[in-house]
Amino acid sequence: MTELDEQQTAARTWFEGLRDRICAAFEAIERDAGSDARFEYAPWDRTDPDGTSGGGGVRGVMKGKVFEKVGVNVSTVGGRFEGEFAKSIHGAGDDPRFFATGISLVAHMANPHVPAVHMNTRFLRTTKQWFGGGADLNPPLPRDEDTADFHARLKAACDAHSPDYYPRFKKWADDYFFIPHRGVHRGVGGIFYDHLEGDFDADFAFTRDVGEAFLDVYPRLVRRRMDEPWTEADRRAQLAWRGRYAEFNLVYDRGTLFGLKTGGNIDAILMSLPPLATWE
């Protein structure tokens, strides 16, 4: 992979710094719950088909008392898209060279009353360059208060940049995080955006605010619910819901496909899968 320019370096640095702060916040929750669980980090390297370096990343996973399994991954990769896959990527149809850097996070919680969550933001460059990502809440047992607070915080981040961002990106999330063969949504939504390519500084600022919004609101939701009592019926509902979550990520998720098609680390790509799930 060639040396990074100023924009690529700035994006990579931001995503890695956000990872550090999110992991610290999650570990602090474990400390407050009486657990000494910490993230375990595993760096990985990507090699292009011609044998040259294609960047890499770091997979971080923690299994604790509150977070049954949470993965926070960062990666910075580059190279060439292979074959027909290039034609499916914005700006890569005529030139398959690419660069991508980003953060991806999925948390599956021990207490069924604590909502699971997904967040990722990224910067990509082909013959075009753009930001994308978002965050969505995935409670096995939805609570209106949690849903409202999560959406309100993301809306505030969106409204600081454009009045049409929240309704537009909320609808995109609602449409995207849907399981067609089940006829249900994966969770209670959030925001999803892609191909944000108007102005690097403005789009990067928005992407940073999405990360800040997530870091602000999600730990508060975890602390609100992590000590609530739960029943075996609650746990069964959680495990059944996780089955739906796994179906979406394996069948429809574009990030899973992108990782597999670009030679990403398999463990990092599939860290989104829950540790336990049921199909009954």
**Residue 17 annotated as part of some ligand binding site:** no
Cβ atoms of residues 96 and 82 within 8 Å = yes
**Residue 104 annotated as part of some ligand binding site:** yes
**Residue 120 annotated as part of some ligand binding site:** yes
DSSP string, 134-176: EEEEE-SS--HHHHHHHHHHHHHHHHTT-TTHHHHHHHHHHHH
CA dihedral 15, 243, 166, 218 (to 10 degrees): -60
**Residue 122 annotated as part of some ligand binding site:** yes
- Tell me the pairing of strands 116-125 and 129-138: antiparallel
Cβ atoms of residues 226 and 66 within 8 Å = yes
Torsional class of 239: left (φ above 0), alpha (ψ -120 to 50), beta (otherwise)? alpha
Which residue type is seen at 220? R
Torsional class of 91: left (φ above 0), alpha (ψ -120 to 50), beta (otherwise)? left
Q: Say how far residue 191 (Cα) sits from the centre of its chain.
A: 11
Just list the catalytic residues.
Answer: 118
**Residue 181 annotated as part of some ligand binding site:** yes
**Residue 195 annotated as part of some ligand binding site:** no
**Residue 121 annotated as part of some ligand binding site:** yes
**Residue 264 annotated as part of some ligand binding site:** yes
The H or E element containing residue 12 is helix 6-32
Contacts for 232 with CB less than 8 Å, ≥ 6 apart: none
Other CB atoms within a 10 A radius of the CB of residue 197 amount to 16
Q: Would you list which residues are annotated within the binding site?
A: 104, 108, 118, 120-122, 151, 181, 263-265
User: Which residue numbers belong to the known binding site for a divalent metal cation?
Assistant: 108, 118, 151, 181
Q: Which residues are annotated as a binding site for substrate?
A: 104, 120-122, 263-265
